Amino acid sequence: MPNKHLFTVNELADYLKMRPITIYKHAAAGKLPGFKIGSKWRFKKSTIDRWIEEQENSRIKKEDNDET
């Protein structure tokens, strides 16, 4: 039974509306939280959702600091 809480590169690309090559590049650079199983990247949905929130919060904080 496949784990529905684990994304492949293509599934994450669909979820984030990005190209798979961009997912590979960001994951390899450490910009996206993921891990490798053998040579294949995998991404936990809960970790990606938390990362999205962190990205939103840091953008909001930056905008607030820019206004002051």
| Digit-coded pLDDT (tens) for 29-39 | 999 999 999 99
Query: 33 and 23 in contact (C-beta within 8 Å)?
Result: no
pTM to 2 decimals? 0.80
Domains in the chain, please, with CATH? Answer: 6-67 (1.10.10)
* Beta-strand runs (E) in 1-68: 6-7, 35-37, 40-44
| Digit-coded pLDDT (tens) for 5-23 | 999 999 999 999 999 999 9
